[in-house]
Amino acid sequence: GGWLTTSYSWRWAFGINLPIGLLVVVGVLMFITESRASREQAVDAVGAVLSAITFAALAFALIEGRTYGWWTSITPLEVGSWRWSWSLSPAPVALTVSVLVGAALVARIRRRTRTGRPTILRFDLFRIPSFRNGNLAAMIVSLGEFGIVLSLPLWLQNVRGYTAFQTGLILLALAGGSFLASGLSAGLSARLAPATMVRIGITAEIVGVAGLGFVIGPDTSWALVVAPLLVYGFGVGLATAQLTGVVLVDVPVQRSGEGSGVQSTARQIGSALGIAILGTVLFTSVGSRLDASLGDAGVPAAARTAVVDAVVTSAGGAIPQLAKDPRAAAAVRPAEQAFSDGTRYAAFTAAGFLVLGLAASFSLGSGARREEESELAADVSGARAGAAVGDGATGSS
């Protein structure tokens, strides 16, 4: 991604997924044995559309609220030649759409569940403690995991001056830690309970992210960043796969697709919240710290506001440009320090959320299937079947 961004365009970082996706589809068709249900079932297409609208609007509101304004429009939304012309920001509109469509989705799920018709989700899955608590833990952990990925590349490029390609090479340490964890997890899983491995992984994530917070500064060498990233990546690799298994361990096999979809959604909501919260921490901190530093240096209010707005709205991209302007050269060092401080605060905030995720993981037990929870899972599945039979009999009469 970094090489494509540096040599060609940032759009290719997304476009590269198309040929890779096609190769995956071909590989699945060639080598994966298809599994089918014992009988054909209808698909809740309307529910799927409502779900997509609900969570797409929610993600847009959370992630883009800082850009377009949380209430009043500060930057117009443009799609092609169309331009958002209202004073009300699109973020609260998207949030309102998410709430209204989400309410309609919940009502539809409840109604179709009562009548025994297919639906994208049945809420009785949340009667299973490992599923309910595991999704909560996964959402909290995702909130801390993905937010730091927003701020760190910005700091590496705009403060430390690395290219997108060099930044990608530094971030390979995170992938290296994940690969290391993948190699060790098979041996560890034979001796440790899944939930224990999740807790070890989250603890490693906390150590890695907090370590980043302690070493980040305007003059920090890339070598000091690699070690915490390696530890953080190890934690992600160890916790993520095991947490997926813990969440789904007591879900009936015939409903594993349904449960997996809920778990994926919980993670996506957590990551969107993480980007929104940690992005707010980052840019609020940068703005306040830079304004204070420039004020202490005696910079006039108008010039101070112009520099702060340029740095914040550009996500730090204006910092290298300040050095090219003799009139603004004195603001470069305060801007680098402020952006470094904001990145540090974002890292510590991410570590705090991961601590909450670690605490939530203790509600998961061992993560191994227990007899009483297996019976509960069977009851959930059986209750659904019984309701369908009863509703069918009522309809026949």
The predicted model scores a pTM of 0.77
Does CATH place domain 128-365 in 3.40.50.720?
Answer: no
Strands 78-79 and 82-83: antiparallel
Token pair in block for residue 170: 């530094």
Token pair in block for residue 365: 């037990």
Residue 130 CA to residue 246 CA, distance in Å, equals 7
Token pair in block for residue 282: 């980052």
Report which of 277, 41, 257, 343 is spatially closest to residue 139, judged by C-alpha positions: 277
- The fraction of the chain above a pLDDT of 90, given in percent, is 29
Residue 364 CA to residue 194 CA, distance in Å, equals 10
Residue 83 CA to residue 232 CA, distance in Å, equals 41
Interval 38-92: pLDDT, tens? 666 677 889 889 999 998 998 888 888 888 888 898 888 888 888 888 899 999 9
Instruction: Report the SS3 class of residue 260.
Output: helix
Interval 123-177: pLDDT, tens? 888 888 888 888 888 888 888 777 677 789 999 999 999 988 889 899 999 989 9
Count of residues for the chain? 397
Q: Are 296 and 259 in contact (CB under 8 A)?
A: no
Q: Are 349 and 143 in contact (CB under 8 A)?
A: no
Report the DSSP beta bridge partners of residue 83.
Answer: 78
Name the percent of the chain in helix, strand, coil, to the closest 5. Answer: 75, 0, 20
Any idea of the CA torsion for 374, 376, 382, 387, to the nearest 10 degrees? Answer: -160
Residue 256 CA to residue 285 CA, distance in Å, equals 43
Domain map of the chain by residue range? 42-121, 128-365
